[in-house]
């Protein structure tokens, strides 16, 4: 059965210092699964990556993991994925993830999460895709990044329209619903409290 939508989630291979990060990753996966969606992610079973994948599977959703051979042992490839693609390079990983996604969502994470977020945002502003890009600013995690980006606008290196390409919210459910609706793949998505 084809999923109602497909969300590519970028997030940390570590759980982070705040318990709220893990709980939100669980909520994201649960929301995707309960709404008949598909998670596309980096294929690991550690940290927030593993939590969002496990929660999606537990809620009945499909999970597509894409991981390079070099990271199979380092990130402990999640062998429980509906589909697990083991690829040769990071470029191939990111290409496959982007092709399988209707929208992109970045949760808290480190350098890898930031790199993936900036790449799909760059592709969006260059017109390589028209898929919505979301940044979950959980507990102010991305406040400093967003302030820096505003400085890039006032400094003349970016324009407001580029900032407007990012959907930013602090509530995971609200942001997921916004992304899926913007992608035009499931306009009547229910809230969890309506199920």
CATH number at residue 85: 3.40.50.450
Q: Does any domain span residue 190?
A: no
pLDDT of residue 76: 86
Q: Does any domain span residue 151?
A: yes
Q: Does any domain span residue 29?
A: yes
Q: Does any domain span residue 146?
A: yes
Total domains in the chain come to 1
Residue ranges in the chain modelled with pLDDT below 50: 187-195
Rounded to two decimals, what is the model's pTM? 0.93
Q: Does any domain span residue 189?
A: no
In whole angstroms, what is the distance from residue 66 CA to residue 86 CA? 6
pLDDT of residue 26: 98
Whole-Å CA distances, 131 to 6, 120, 173: 11, 9, 18
Q: Does any domain span residue 25?
A: yes
Structural domain boundaries enclosing 14: 6-184
Q: Does any domain span residue 193?
A: no
């Amino acid at each position: 059965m084809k999923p109602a939508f497909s969300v590519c989630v970028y997030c940390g291979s570590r759980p982070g210092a705040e318990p709220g990060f893990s709980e939100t990753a669980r909520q994201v996966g649960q929301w995707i699964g309960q709404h008949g969606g598909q998670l596309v992610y980096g294929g690991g079973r550690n940290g927030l990556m593993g939590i969002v994948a496990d929660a999606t599977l537990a809620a009945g959703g499909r999970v597509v993991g894409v991981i390079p051979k070099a990271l199979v042992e380092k990130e402990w490839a999640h062998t429980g994925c509906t589909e697990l693609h083991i690829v040769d390079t990071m470029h191939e990983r990111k290409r496959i993830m982007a092709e399988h996604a209707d929208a992109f969502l970045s949760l808290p994470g480190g350098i890898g999460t930031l790199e993936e977020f900036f790449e799909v945002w760059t592709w969006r502003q260059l017109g390589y895709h028209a898929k919505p890009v979301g940044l979950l600013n959980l507990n102010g995690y991305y406040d400093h990044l967003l302030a820096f980006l505003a400085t890039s606008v006032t400094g003349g290196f970016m324009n407001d329209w580029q900032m407007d390409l990012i959907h930013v919210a602090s509530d995971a459910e609200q942001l997921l619903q916004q992304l899926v609706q913007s992608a035009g793949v499931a306009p009547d998505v229910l809230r969890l409290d309506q199920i």
